[in-house]
Chain A
Amino acid sequence: MTLIATKLDSFDVKRVVPTSKSRLTVKNISVGYGGAAIVKNVSLDAAEGALTILVGPNGCGKSTVLKAIARVLQPMSGSARLDGTSVHTIPTRTLAKSLALLPQGPIAPEGLTVKELVSQGRFPHQTLARQWSAEDSHAVFAAMQAADVAGFADRRVDSLSGGQRQRCWIAMILAQDTDVVLLDEPTTFLDLKVQVDVMTLLRQIAHHQNRTLIVVLHDLNIAAMFGDKIIMMRGGVIVDQGPPDDVMTRRNLARVFDLDAHVITDPASGRPVCLPVVAQ
Chain B
Amino acid sequence: MTRGAMLSLPVVLAGIALAFAWHIAVGAKTVPLGTVLTALTSYDRTIFDHVVVMDLRLPRAIYAVLVGASLSVAGALMQGITRNPLAEPGILGLLTGASFAVVILVGFFGSVAPVWIPLLAAVGAATTAALVWGIAAAAPGGSTPLTLILSGAAITAFLGAFIALANLLDQESFESLRVWLTGTLSSRAPAVLWWSLPWIAVGLVIALAIARQVTALAMGDETAVGLGVDVARLKALALVSVIALTAASVAIAGPMAFVGLVIPHITRIFVGSDYRLIVPFSAGFGAMYLLLIDIAARMVLAPVEVSTGIISAILGGPFFVWLVRARL
Interface residues of A (CB under 8 A from B): 67, 70-72, 92-97, 99-103, 105-113, 116-117, 120-121, 123-124, 126, 128, 131-132, 173, 176, 182
Contacts and interface: CB of A to CB of B under 8 A. Distances in A.
A84 B115 CA distance: 54
A96 B273 contact: no
A71 B229 CA distance: 11
B113 to A, nearest CB: 36
B218 A123 contact: no
A103 B228 contact: no
A114 B226 CA distance: 19
B273 A116 contact: yes
A13 B222 CA distance: 36
B228 A97 contact: yes
Given A92-B230, A123-B212, A103 B273 contact: no
Given A95-B228, A111-B268, A112-B273, A120 B222 contact: no
Nearest to A70: B226
Given A111-B272, A113-B272, A120 B219 contact: yes
A112 B272 contact: yes
Contacts of A99: 226
A152 B151 CA distance: 42
B302 interface: no
B223 interface: yes
A126 B226 CA distance: 15
A132 B3 CA distance: 13
Contacts of A131: 1
Contacts of B273: 109-112, 116
B226 A102 contact: yes
A92 B227 CA distance: 8
Q: Which of B83, B227, B272 is packed against the most chain A CB atoms within 10 Å? A: B227
Interface in B283-303: none
A176 B229 CA distance: 13
B32 interface: no
A113 B2 CA distance: 12
A107 B83 CA distance: 10
Nearest to A97: B228
Interface in B189-213: 209, 212-213
Contacts of B219: 106-109, 117, 120
